[in-house]
Amino acid sequence: MAFTLIEVKTGRAVRVSLKPGFFSQALNSPFVQQRKAGVPPQDIPAAVADPLIEKVLSLPEENFLAIGAIVQLELPKRKGVFEAEPCAKCGELTFVDKLQETAVGRVCIPCAG
């Protein structure tokens, strides 16, 4: 899971992604298992949610985040996209409009080079 955080007024941007190992562990957590079962987040007991929150708050960011360099972006005006697929190369969940067809399958922009 990756995001590009953009300061809209200046166009400054930085790509931040969850490290795959951390993200995989999160998807297997009791919290996510309850969410998969249809339990709304506000109905999950604090005994399940709080340890996960405390873990993230106590981890150094380099243990779970990959943070790229700050870059300058032009911000085009367009509709939002809400469908995502994993990159065929790195496995990051990527919005479908950002995937590119390659010999190995649909890949995210960084993997496409």
pLDDT at 109: 92
Domains of the chain: 1-74 (no CATH), 81-113 (3.30.60)
- Report helix, strand or coil for 31: helix
pLDDT means over runs of 10, the chain (113 residues): 90 94 90 94 94 93 95 84 93 94 94 90
CA angle 33, 35, 39 (to 5 degrees): 120
pTM for this prediction: 0.54
Show Cβ contacts of residue 11 under 8 Å, excluding neighbours closer than 6 positions.
Answer: 72, 73, 74, 75
The encoded tokens of residue 87 equal 């990159």
